[in-house]
Amino acid sequence: MRKNFNMYINKAIGIMYATNLLQALLVIAVMFFYLSRDSLIFLPMNIFDVLVIGLVAISLINCYLVLRDIRFVKDLNLQNIMKSKSLENITQLNHLLRAQRHDFLNHLQVVYSLIELNEFDEASNYIETVYEDIKKVNKSLKTVNTAINALLQAKLLDCENKGILADLHIDTRLENLLIPSWEMCRVLGNLIDNAIDAVRELREKGFVNIEIEEKDSNYVFTIKNNGKQIPEELKDKIFEPGYTTKKDRGEGMGLAITKSITEKYNGKIFVDSIQSVTIFRVCIPIE
C-alpha cells in the first residue's frame, strides 16, 4: 500500500514538472513572438496588449505556485516515508520488549529449578546468557526519543545479522534535541548504513561503534568503523550530491542529505579517516 502510494506521488510529481515546464516555455515563446512581431520596439499598449500581458503574468504566477506546491508535496511524502520507517522500528522494538517480558517468568522458573538442584554453575551460565540478551536491548533505551531508540536497536540487530561487531554507548537522554525525530533518524540512519556498507566486504572482522553524548553545549553523535580509508582529497567531495563510492549500490545522496539536515539546525558534521578507522561526527547545538 505504502509502495503504491509513493509510486503514485512520484508519478504525479513527474507529470506536474513536465506540464508546467512546457507551459512556461510556451508562454515565453508567445511573449517573444508577440513583442517582436513587427519590430523589436515595444508598441503602445491597448486592451489586447493588457489581456495578453495579464495572461502571461497569471500563467507565470501559476507556474510558480504549482512548482512551490510540488516541493511541498515531495517534502511531505519524504516525511511520511521516514515516519513510517520510524513506526516500523518502534513496532519491532515493542514486539521484542513484549517477548522479553513474556519470557521473564519462564527464565526465573528455570533458574529457580537449577538452584534447587544445586546446579549453581548451570544457573550462573543461564543467567549470564539471559542477561546478555536483555543488555543488548537496554543499550538502545537510554534516550527519551522513542524513534531514535528504535532506530538504534534496529541497526544493532542489522549488524548482528550481518556478522558485524557493533557497540553502542549513550551518555545523554537527548531531552532538548532541536531536530525532529524523523530527521535525526534520517541523519543517523544514513551514517550507520554507510558504516555497515564500509565494513561488509572486509576480510577481517568489521566493527561499527556508535556514541551519543553531550559535549561543549552540543549533542555529539559519533559513528566509527574500520572500513576502507577515505583519501584526504575526497573528504569534502563525499558530501556533494550524486557523489558515491558504492558504484551501482548507491545514489550518492545519503551524506549530502545528512549534511543538509545537520546544517539546517545550525549543526556541523566532521569526518576523519586514517588507515584503521573512519569517524563521522555530527554536532547539534543543545536547545
Tens of pLDDT along the chain (287 residues) come to 455 556 666 666 666 676 666 667 666 766 666 666 555 444 455 555 655 666 677 677 767 767 777 777 777 777 777 777 777 877 777 776 676 676 777 777 777 777 878 888 887 887 777 767 666 666 777 888 888 988 898 898 888 888 899 999 999 999 999 898 889 999 999 999 999 998 987 877 889 999 999 998 999 999 999 988 888 888 888 888 876 766 555 556 789 989 999 999 999 999 999 878 999 999 999 97
Domain ranges within the chain, ordered by starting residue: 2-83, 163-285
What is the pLDDT at residue 190?
Answer: 92
Alpha-carbon dihedral of residues 66, 72, 78, 80, nearest 10 degrees? -110
Backbone angles phi, psi at 222, to 5 degrees: -120, 125
Alpha-helical segments (H) within the chain? 2-35, 47-116, 120-138, 146-161, 181-199, 254-264
Q: Which residues pair with 166 in a beta bridge?
A: 208
pLDDT at 108: 76
- The CATH class that applies to domain 163-285 reads alpha beta
Residue 10 cell numbers, joined: 512520484
Residue 21 to residue 26: CA distance in whole angstroms: 9
| Beta carbons of 261 and 243 less than 8 angstroms apart | no
